[in-house]
Chain A
Amino acid sequence: EAGVVQSPRYKIIEKKQPVAFWCNPISGHNTLYWYLQNLGQGPELLIRYENEEAVDDSQLPKDRFSAERLKGVDSTLKIQPAELGDSAVYLCASSSFFGGGTDTQYFGPGTRLTVL
């Protein structure tokens, strides 16, 4: 079974430029998460999708960040414009949780963003 796929693995951009990250979850997983991990810290949730619906985006900085999961499968996270403080690792995870109960979250390899 393939794991969570993310691309690109690394991205270097200049500040004020746009950037996008892509995630394909594990097949059959209806819940998808985007996390942000700053250096030396644990990941923090940005947004959670159940199928195509964003059910928790309270930590997403909506002035510059946006996300979509149009068909309830893969997802894109965008930053426009990027700031120096956005340099971090962006992690995608998925689980088969839906409608209650708990389930294991599986993480992709992440995209390491450097904003110059």
Chain B
Amino acid sequence: GIQVEQSPPDLILQEGANSTLRCNFSDSVNNLQWFHQNPWGQLINLFYIPSGTKQNGRLSATTVATERYSLLYISSSQTTDSGVYFCAVAPGYNKLIFGAGTRLAVHP
């Protein structure tokens, strides 16, 4: 089956720093989503981005489908950005395959 690899596995930042999270996937996909799982366990949609570039405030994402990777950019990080960031892909339709996540800790 399709493999989803996220890097780095862990990231520690000072408030205000920028970061880039990467998601590599081993086959073509119809769906790619980025999620933030907050410390209370809620999975929050960040982007639906099977291809192209999107921005939402301090967050932006780019997926290069032909090269099978996606990047999530976090600018001017805040302590509320802490948590786990998941990349999930659907090689067919609907069944999301999640990566292992990037655990982010933002310190004041």
Contacts and interface: CB of A to CB of B under 8 A. Distances in A.
Contacts of B42: 107, 109-110
A110 B98 contact: no
Interface string A71-115: 000000000000000000101000101001111111101101000
Contacts of B86: 42-43
Nearest to B99: A42
Contacts of B95: 45, 48, 56
Contacts, number: 59
Q: Is the interface of B mostly helix, strand, loop or mixed?
A: loop
A1 to B, nearest CB: 13
Nearest to A106: B45
A107 B48 contact: no
18 contacts: A33-B94, A33-B96, A41-B98, A41-B101, A56-B95, A89-B41, A91-B43, A100-B93, A102-B94, A103-B31, A103-B48, A104-B48, A105-B96, A107-B43, A107-B45, A109-B42, A110-B41, A110-B42
Can you list the 4 inter-chain pairs with the closest CB atoms, starting with the nearest?
A42-B98, A107-B43, A102-B31, A104-B48
Interface of A: 31, 33, 41-45, 48, 56, 89, 91, 95, 97, 100-107, 109-110, 112
